[in-house]
Chain A
Amino acid sequence: MAANSRTLEIKVISAENLQLDRKPIKKNASVTVRTDTNSQFRTTDMDTEGGAYPRWNETLVLDLPTHSKSITVEVQCKTSSSVRTIGTATIPASDFVGGYVPEGYLHFLSYRLRDHKGERNGIINISVSMEAQKMYAYASSTTWSNSTMGFPATGNKSFGSGVVTGVPVWYGVYQKDY
């Protein structure tokens, strides 16, 4: 991970009241999270059981560039013919970074989804934390962070490579790079 981006851990929890053509969807909703520079994106698995109220509880990890101002969350539904976008929400970085809340705080956030016409179409529930720190986590090597615990890690911190000391952090993630 380069020094000018931060690790963002987003757990896509659930969504509510998703509709296509004014009818609740039946199944196969999934969520894609993107940075505003479009440099990265990750997608969850499809939910097959929840219908218009899907539950994923899936954690996605992104590297968010330092100058990034927001991320977008897009909910899609795979129908028999195609993949259609149900709605998107734009999440300003200020909602989970800065302010008086300390780094690494687990923010539970919810947003209104709007479809391509700008009309409301459901709600998305997520949790976001800026650094993947749990227990004896390593400190981030980014330039501006000031985390207070752990031992400095050397080199790259993208999970799966790099050196960490202490108890490895649970990610529970798998990436889907399309």
Chain B
Amino acid sequence: MGGCFSDVRGGKDAVGGDLPRPTEPNAKNDGAHNDAIELFYRAHGAYPLFTQLELSFSASKLLNLDVTSKSDPMVIVYLKKNDGKLEELGRTEVILNNLNPVWIQKVSVAYQFEMVQNLIFRVYDVDTQYHNVPVKTLNLKDQEFLGEGSCVLSEIVTKQNRSLTLTLKGKNGHGGLRNFGTLTVHAEETIASRSAVEIKFRCAHLDNKDLFSKSDPFLRISRTVETGGSIPICKTEVVDNNLNPTWKPLCLSMQQFGSKDNPLVIECFDFNSDGNHILIGKLQKSVADLEKLFKEKSGVNFFIPSSRAGHEKVLKGQLFVDQFCEKEQFSFVDYISSGFELNFMVAVDFTGSNGDPRKPESLHYIDPYGRLNSYQQAITEVGQVIQFYDADKSFPALGFGGRTANGTVSHCFNLNGNASESEVVGVEGIMAAYANALRNVALSGPTLFGQVVNRAAEIAARSLSSNNNKYYVLLIITDGILTDLQETKDALVRASNLPLSILIVGVGNADFKQMEILDADNGQRLESSTGRIATRDIVQFVPMRDVQSGQISVVQGLLEELPGQFLSYMRSMDIKPLTFNAAAQASRALEIL
């Protein structure tokens, strides 16, 4: 949750210390992800969730273009942007005289779940005269092209050992009769991604900043940057009315704090509902220092900075570390590459408020010239990203609020017209079923989500009988306002402890204020009519019309949250990546023998 809370209750929640949300580039960043992108995201109020990956390469049976010896190959990695332009991400070194090279130099790339990252790899034979020249300065026009391969980054990440072998082709993708050989790309997360520390902070003798009661303290932890400032990485929840508070344990990933010796700024504020939190005190300690505090069971005093350097006022208030433990946190890539899948499902609104699909003003109008309507846009944007994480690309496609062939209004029918099977293959399959349904189903109403949510929950629950490596994502696209909010809340609460996330995209011009209640970002957990409360917040809502021009689409914002929701489910259920389990069971089996 990187947004601003206008609700006090939500504003008191801990932020950032729980999930691995790296907001700073890795200290060893080599330019693949740079500060300009950071600032861009921060200016838009969003923190991108990315993981730094390192790509390493090997090739076999490359073309031999040298006369007296063999080719001297090098690989260049490009990112293909939406406009088709290529942005170079990095180069390997040149290996001499080898048609089956294994390069050492890795290329860093920031893995962003919410985008389809098209990578192009080009292999060049570097001419002898350039062999002692820095690789970066080589002009490719002077080198000989050996072959090109391309893939989407998520294809590499979802492979068992995160290695993908591509058949190289000539320029413009023509293979022709020539055999250009193969290129194998392997992705590795930097080690820092997996280490984390769990720290339980406590304070004593804090100053009282409130008039009629005691301070409501919370801690904010920031990482210092080279330029001298500091960037907040997380904050604790607020403890009301307490000058000796203990907070819930915070989990900081190494991606957030950089290294154990990196100085962290810890500030203690008194929470005020008007947003003007008063600084009680601050101090600077690295993670290694905090570990020392834990071992020695000692406290460190806060101070108030003053304009005169060296004259900070030392306060009575102290910080203690009651718990400190280092742990390994499996990352999203760990799960995905070990065989975990994201299964995609779609539910489309067939209520009358969309307008007659035959008329161009209708939200369901299918443009003969190919311009996608809002429904098609949402399906494409989400489907194109998630499809790579779904092994069989078999997606249940549902509709609600329409009058089907048998004359009754259904709140959960199959778009493909099949009575029993709701699944279609690929995003193209969804589009075809959607167009087909528009011809055969009459728009009706009212707008009810309850049944499609129940169906999604049923599918997710059933899958648990055979395995626990599937996580489901239901995309609901709707133009209107829910008719029965309570029934939908009930369905959502019942689904909230299952491996399921629900993305709701609102299209058209309706006032979607009511949908924001379902999103629960204001801190209010959903409550069912039976008194049960949602275990976790599985719903995200965004209105499509908030699309900003430029590269960041609003739907991408929805997708950014998915890896976090996936991880929080897996971690709370203590489900580990498959390879880890397999190894553990194998060793246990050996013990029994």
Contact = CB atoms under 8 A, between A and B. Distances in A.
Interface stretch (A59-67, A74-82, A103-111, A150-158): A103-111
Nearest to B534: A110
A123 interface: yes
Contact of A92 (B461, B498, B530, B573): B530
B527 interface: yes
Contacts of B534: 110
Interface string B522-560: 000101001111111000000000000000000000000
Q: Give the residue among B462, B530, B588 with the most A Cβ atoms within 10 A.
A: B530
A45 interface: no
Contact of A123 (B246, B248, B530, B533): B533
Q: Give the residue among B240, B241, B465, B531 with the most A Cβ atoms within 10 A.
A: B531
Given A24-B240, A106-B573, A111 B532 contact: yes
A112 B535 contact: no
B325 interface: no
15 contacts: A49-B246, A51-B239, A89-B531, A91-B532, A92-B530, A99-B461, A100-B457, A100-B464, A101-B498, A102-B465, A109-B535, A110-B525, A112-B527, A112-B532, A114-B531
A5 interface: no
A99 B495 CA distance: 11
B176 to A, nearest CB: 53
Interface SS, B side? loop
B242 interface: yes
A50 to B, nearest CB: 8
Nearest to B531: A112
A85 interface: no
Given A101-B461, A102-B465, A110-B532, 12 more contacts: A24-B240, A24-B241, A51-B239, A89-B531, A90-B531, A95-B532, A99-B461, A100-B457, A100-B465, A101-B498, A112-B533, A123-B525
B323 interface: no
Nearest to B533: A110
A83 to B, nearest CB: 23
Given A49-B246, A51-B242, A92-B530, A110 B535 contact: yes
B105 interface: no
A33 to B, nearest CB: 16
Interface of B: 239-242, 246, 248, 457-458, 461-462, 464-465, 497-498, 525, 527, 530-536, 572-573, 588
Contact of A108 (B240, B525, B530, B572): B572
A114 to B, nearest CB: 7
A106 B535 CA distance: 12
Contacts of A109: 497, 532, 535
Nearest to A99: B461
A70 to B, nearest CB: 11
Closest 5 CB pairs of A and B: A100-B461, A110-B533, A102-B465, A112-B531, A101-B461
A50 B525 CA distance: 21
A128 B240 CA distance: 30
Given A49-B246, A51-B242, A108 B535 contact: yes
Contacts of A50: 246
Contacts of A51: 239, 242
Nearest to B465: A102
B524 to A, nearest CB: 11
B464 A105 contact: yes
B215 to A, nearest CB: 15
Nearest to A102: B465
A90 B532 CA distance: 9
Contacts of B239: 51
A147 B536 CA distance: 28
Contacts of A107: 497
Given A24-B240, A49-B246, A123-B525, A111 B464 contact: no
A36 B498 CA distance: 26
Contacts of B535: 108-110
Contacts of B462: 100
A49 B498 CA distance: 31
Q: Give the residue among B242, B527, B532, B534 with the most A Cβ atoms within 10 A.
A: B532
A112 to B, nearest CB: 4
Contacts of B498: 101
Nearest to A101: B461
Nearest to B591: A167
B464 A102 contact: yes
A106 B246 CA distance: 29
A136 to B, nearest CB: 8
A92 B494 CA distance: 12
Nearest to A105: B464
B362 to A, nearest CB: 37
Interface in A138-156: none
B213 to A, nearest CB: 11
Nearest to A106: B573
A111 B531 contact: yes
